[in-house]
Amino acid sequence: MSTLINHATLVLCFVAGKSGGHLLPCITQAEKILKTDPTSQVHLFSSGSDLDNKIMEKHSTIQHFVPYIIDSIPYQKPWLFPYFIYSMGAYFINSIYELWSMKPEKVISFGGLNSIPVCLAGKLIGIPFDLYELNVEPGRAVTFLSYFTDQVYICFSQTANYLKSKKCELAPYPVRFTKKDLEYNRLELLQKFELHPDKSTILILGGSQGSIFVNQAIKNCLESNPELSNKVQVIHQIGMYDHDEYEKFYASHNIPAIVFAYNEQLQNFYNLADLIICRAGAGTLFEVEFFKKPCIIIPLQTDLNDHQLQNADAMEEMVPEQFSVLLQKNCEQKFLATIQSKLIN
């Protein structure tokens, strides 16, 4: 339930959808406000997923509110539409009550399905909302909500082409790291993680189902090219179920490696990397850009969505000296040469 508000303080309400890609930058932006103005109050609506709740446990300065867990639109299961509509309606009604109690100056949305009832509830009772779109191509929620607000912040200039009827303002991506995270002692970090100073360090950012291709591609490349595997060491973020398999693989090929699913001190691995290989989630790309490390992007492409390809192309256009894009269809043929060229540079 909401707490009583001292209306002399700044009160803001954030809302973010059902993934770390929405929630982490939302939290980062909220905490920047709290650092700038410690007397302010920040509330956050999220989807209530296990991941959301786990993340929010580490950010106790933000008051967390979850009225309902909203599932995805059941396009393939039309018989679930009545329950979906009921859930959205209940979320909308609860949002009206909570926003009326909080009386925030505005609602700030970072996208996701659950942002729709919260933003519209605010609009109904006279509370304006701002939108942040983090990818090149706006998501469905942001596209829909853009018709009800005049303030849309974008991180890629190309996004304005999708929202031509709106005045879009280019804004920095809310990267969770600070300049302090760029300060490190390389030798100390190498010793801490038992890595070798005479080998090049490749950081692979995978972990989700969409990164299975990347995981297998690096495995095939190292297995087929012993001259490369003898010169590198690997820090590999990987899926929970593949951990043991890849630990055994690196050990069997005498490649020093750190294999992990999640690490809160990811800045250490960014700093150690001589080369980063990743997908094209906006958060990952802007973090890599922040640490100024050479990067090979292998965007996830599906029959339904190619927004990662647009992110990758936009980032390569922005910082061509840092980023190179490889498509899945020709990755195997070009992977070794691209890795070698990036390590040499």
The domains located in the chain, with CATH, are: 11-170 (3.40.50.2000), 179-344 (3.40.50.2000)
Task: Sort strands 200-205 and 168-170 into parallel, antiparallel or unpaired.
Answer: unpaired
Largest interatomic CA distance in the chain: 66
Cβ atoms of 15 and 119 closer than 8 Å: yes
Q: Check if the beta carbon of residue 236 is closer than 8 Å to that of residue 246.
A: yes
Q: What is the pLDDT of residue 198?
A: 95
pTM reported for the whole predicted model: 0.90
pLDDT in tens, 34-58: 999 999 999 999 887 777 888 888 8
| Phi-psi sector, 337: left (phi>0), alpha (psi -120 to 50), beta | alpha
User: Are the C-beta atoms of 124 and 93 separated by less than 8 Å?
Assistant: no
pLDDT, tens only, 153-199: 999 999 999 998 788 999 999 999 999 999 999 999 999 999 999 99
Enclosing H/E stretch for 155 = none
Residue with tokens 């018989």: 79
Q: Identify the pLDDT of residue 164.
A: 83
Amino acid at residue number 158: Q
pLDDT of residue 105: 95
- Decide: helix, strand or coil at residue 114: coil
Rounded alpha-carbon distances, angstroms, from residue 270 to 128, 181, 265: 38, 10, 9
Name, in order, each residue with C-beta under 8 angstroms of 268's C-beta and a sequence gap of 6 or more.
Answer: 184, 189, 192, 193
What ranges in the chain are assigned the alpha helix state H? 20-36, 50-56, 81-102, 115-124, 140-145, 186-192, 212-224, 226-229, 243-252, 266-272, 282-291, 307-318, 331-344
Which residues in the chain land under pLDDT 70?
A: 1-8, 207-210, 304, 345
**In the prediction, which pLDDT does 22 show?**
86
| 3-class secondary structure, 119 | helix
Report the C-alpha gap between 123 and 125 in whole angstroms.
6
Q: Rounded to whole angstroms, what are the CA distances from 46 to 14, 23, 24, 123, 226?
A: 9, 8, 11, 18, 47
The residue among 344, 304, 301 whose CA lies nearest residue 325 is: 301
